[in-house]
Structure 1
């Protein structure tokens, strides 16, 4: 009997020139999968926690939003379908076998066989990306250009991925290749006016989604924000999924900055206008 696979994403259509993608906010697992995860993995520690709550203002701004339903341990939507490495340093792949801690995702003998992986690619990965592509094409047809904002978050300290403590806001446009430089500069200026630290094209320059869809010459601009979870999660030890909790005071401080970043993208106008 084959494993049932549900709707792979949640989508809201807006009328603005912006699409926000949240490929790592999902927490759903396939039936029976939880029993194959290690104890550490069962807490879903590498989830981009609470992004829909952080960006709850998007509907009022008439922004299109696509959110992953499944956990990145089912499939990483921000990796290419052929699983070619995006980074020269140690990282995780399309079907992650290790956590950001370096510990295994699955118990011995766990994981997906080739048939299940093929189904996941066809019924989860491809529909998510087909929706992104179709939405960007529709937006470009309507507005003459489209902007894709790939929203992520991560723990402030992940020794396997980077040294020390991550800046609060990590903006990336694939080192200038994925969007108009003015868009990234404008967002960076907004963060500079806030209490938060930031870096552009540091450790996180943008994953597959930013790199693949960002085609400024085709009037599609893509950029990524990797937000430190220290800006909004409670400072507690997390050993289960329910231990990851929003800090209301932190949320009240960081959400307006996120809203200003999105507003700056909407207010920028046609990115190609800057060259005229």
Structure 2
């Protein structure tokens, strides 16, 4: 199994999918405890949810599970949200604060996993962003995520349906941020927030360099928007997805149109 799947498109948008993978080498999977074996913190079915929404988009998807190493965390191990509960480069607990490992990995093993999984994913993502920018003058990374709608360890109450992150408007042009925000805010029957609990992970912050023609935005969806249940078996709900997908498509198409316009003027 290769650590990353790439589908190349000729448009200006790159869809990043760091947390949809469920593959783990047996030597890693066997060291997870019963709780870890559930792989509960997967961004379930995000690849299926976005399939075909933006035909010209490039897709960069990690095939490995985030319990091996989290491709959306700073490779140095620095916290994304200092002072708040979160999970690390190799998570020791799940999103509920419960242990994952029978035998937790040490520093040497974490570094080996970084080289085997995290580095190839970001090498591929960097290469695609460079290719897209060379073609269009700009590249927009739209980082695709989902999470359970209620996780007391991470946040109070119920999460909004659409959680847009631009690290406080620093990772993309204001027009791109506004297009995503406006589309979600006007989606009937859904809730949304900009730079709330989730402001964009390491990927968004690292690749968001608007002055260089690299724009990045994170979309964190509450899993209640497209799963029939947020507990095992985390089943995909076709009717919920059919209602959600047009909203995501509108946001992506608006971002793509903006990117093409911006590229033409660079």
Q: Is the TM-score greater than 0.5?
A: yes
Partner of 2:57: 63
Partner of 1:142: 135
After TM superposition, the structure 1 stretch with the greater mean CA deviation from structure 2, 185-194 or 70-79, is 185-194
- Cα gap change, 1:245/1:132 in structure 2, threshold over 3 Å: closer, same or farther? same
Q: Does 1:247 pair with 2:240? A: no
Partner of 2:249: 259
Q: Does 1:187 pair with 2:180? A: yes
Q: C-alpha separation between the residues in 2 aligned to 1:224 and 1:260?
A: 16
Q: C-alpha separation between the residues in 2 aligned to 1:82 and 1:113?
A: 15
CA contact (8 A) 1:179 1:216 kept: yes
Q: Deviation at 1:251?
A: 1.1
2:153 to 146, 155, 160: 160
Partner of 1:120: 113
After TM superposition, the structure 1 stretch with the greater mean CA deviation from structure 2, 212-221 or 246-255, is 246-255
Partner of 1:34: 29
Count matched residues: 264
1:84 to 57, 78, 84: 78
Please give the root-mean-square deviation of Cα atoms over the aligned residues, in Å: 1.8
The two structures have a TM-score, normalised by structure 2, of 0.94
Q: Deviation at 1:112?
A: 2.6
Q: Secondary structure at the match of 1:152?
A: strand
Structure 1 runs not aligned, ≥5 long: 1-5
Structure 2 runs not aligned, ≥5 long: none
Q: Deviation at 1:181?
A: 1.2
User: What CA deviation, in whole Å up to 9, does each residue of 1:105-130 have, x standing for no partner?
Assistant: 102xx133444322221121111111
Q: Does 1:224 pair with 2:218? A: yes
